[in-house]
Chain A
Amino acid sequence: MSDFLSINGVSRSFASTTGGGPTLALQATSMTVEENDFITILGPSGCGKSTLLRIVAGLDQQTSGEVLLEGKRIAGPGADRGMVFQSYTLFPWLSVRDNVCFGLNERGMSRKEQLDIAQGFIKKVGLSGFENHYPKQLSGGMQQRTAIARALANGPRMLLMDEPFGALDHQTRELMQELLLSIWEAERKTVLFVTHDIDEAVFMGSRTVVMSARPGRIKLDREVTLPHPRSYAVKTTPVFMELKAELTEQVRIEVLAAQAALV
């Protein structure tokens, strides 16, 4: 059996804006992802972790290499890879319900089927009663919950998340982590999750990957052995602390390297 998702020697360089040669943002990177893995990707700002995610999403084009999803080469964005962005990307002209229906509607599904599916996911993210609200009437956390429901309702093969809780306050962020984790424990979707929060990476992930300073490459790949279902209490266990300490050290080295490169 072939791997679910394989990233083969994917690199990305950008044309320089200041003259001179192109800037390498992401070194040739290879990685395989098993079905139902929850992979968290850590790294300093600008290390290319978001670029890697966007290439998998098909929103950015790699300079070399290829990404295969179930053996098929990814050439552009598609409904099989749902994405949740750091910025609030709900369509402001659609209600919560119609935002969640967006992908289903695009597929030409009947309105009744759309509503059935949407209702289920709105309930799962705890937004029953808010179906008719417009995004601007919701808090940031509620908007991101709607965005998760919108991505999941579309029935993607995998979920790509680019610092989805990055703009939320600490308390909301922790509640969102638990919510997403409980949904993942129930649905077992394959997830690629970019973050710069080490607690979040360990708590959520079944595997955690650390990327180096720009040009990014994968420097560390750790399995997170904490059992499921996980509750927030797991954050104080020795296993969690030990892994967190190791990752903190590794990320710190890269952040320092990234800063040194700027001087």
Chain B
Amino acid sequence: MTPLKPVDPTTRLVLGISFFVIFTALWAGVTLGGLVPKNFLADPLTMVKSGWTLLTTMGFGWDIGWTVWRVLGGFLIATVIALPLGVLMGAYKPIEAFFEPFVSFARYLPASAFIPLLILWAGIGEAQKLSVIFIGSFFQLVLMIAVAVGNTRRDLVEAAYTLGCTDAGIVKRVLIRGAAPEIFEILRMVLGWAWTYVIVAELIGASTGIGHMITDSQALLATDQIIFGIIVIGLIGLISDLGFKWLNRTLFPWAQLGR
């Protein structure tokens, strides 16, 4: 191995898959081999079997749908507000000076700690779940988008000015266009974090959703179902990640050059 030397795509795929295989084999080994009791950690086969039962007879698909809806809903609301605010903060320094200290403070407020308050304010309905996602992602988005926009190369801005660009044109045609791939990358990352918040929101006071199924299973010591729920979340996260990466490559082919 040489530092930073790239691997070819086939080797990369094989290496990536082999870790999954080794991981599952180890898991199967300790559980099926009887090293670990069943109600402590279920084996992979039982997990798949009860996962199938969950999906086919217990309406777990419905729970997944609810969870996805909550994440996307809360994340979309956060994005719709964070995007223009972040761009304005990145572009105009007085606006940044006004909001930045508060947002920097607010992003360290743990979203999950707001749950008791949010239940008080919004009840245990959907508004509460969406609020948790919103608090968890909004401040991070604003700050990271502002930094991405503010990092635009000064010489590109100057070049645009000498080509007759107006201030509004600079924001629209240079700052936003240049930062767009990075903003997409930020959305991808923060969406990943939103997934952790939704489960926390669903663990407390929910009657549907993946998190709710997990708390129910805990009461029954059904570790197989808990693990299945966790894996489903992982898979959905992986799919949304790949989707974002694909979208980024398709929308911004120029940003892939010379990496």
Contact = CB atoms under 8 A, between A and B. Distances in A.
Interface of A: 57-59, 76-79, 81-83, 85, 87, 89, 91-94, 102-103, 106-107, 134, 136-137, 147, 150-151, 154, 160
B161 A93 contact: no
B41 interface: no
A77 B164 CA distance: 7
B162 interface: yes
Contact of A136 (B164, B169, B178, B257): B257
Interface string B226-259: 0000000000000000000000000011110110
A94 to B, nearest CB: 8
A18 B35 CA distance: 68
A140 to B, nearest CB: 13
B156 to A, nearest CB: 6
Contacts of B174: 91
B164 A85 contact: no
Contact of A85 (B155, B165, B255): B155
Given A93-B255, A103-B165, 17 more contacts: A58-B161, A77-B162, A78-B162, A79-B162, A79-B164, A85-B155, A85-B159, A91-B159, A92-B178, A92-B254, A102-B160, A106-B169, A106-B173, A134-B253, A137-B257, A147-B159, A160-B162
Nearest to A87: B155
B12 interface: no
A134 B173 CA distance: 16
A103 B158 CA distance: 13
Contacts of B254: 92-94, 134, 136
Contacts of B160: 91, 102
Nearest to A57: B162
Contact of A82 (B156, B162, B173, B178): B162
B177 A78 contact: no
A190 to B, nearest CB: 15
Contacts of A94: 254
Contacts of B257: 92, 134, 136-137
B177 A107 contact: no
7 nearest A-B pairs in the assembled complex, by CB-CB distance: A79-B164, A103-B163, A77-B161, A89-B159, A136-B257, A83-B162, A136-B258
Nearest to B158: A59
Interface residues of B, number: 24
A91 B178 contact: yes
A102 B162 contact: no
Given A87-B155, A134-B254, A136-B254, A107 B178 contact: no
Contacts of A82: 162-163
Given A85-B155, A89-B156, A59 B162 contact: yes
Of residues A57, A87, A107, A150, which shows the largest number of chain B Cβ atoms within 10 Å of its Cβ? A87
Nearest to B165: A106
Contacts of A83: 158-159, 162
Contact of B161 (A59, A91, A107, A137): A59
A194 to B, nearest CB: 14
Interface in B145-182: 153, 155-156, 158-166, 169, 173-174, 177-178, 180
B149 to A, nearest CB: 14
B162 A91 contact: no
Contact of B163 (A76, A93, A154): A154
B209 to A, nearest CB: 40
Contacts of B153: 89
A13 B153 CA distance: 24
A91 B156 CA distance: 7
Nearest to A91: B156
Contacts of A59: 158, 161-162
B159 A79 contact: no
Contacts of A136: 254, 257-258
B155 A106 contact: no
Contact of A89 (B155, B169, B177, B253): B155
A150 B166 CA distance: 17
Contacts of A106: 163-166, 169, 173
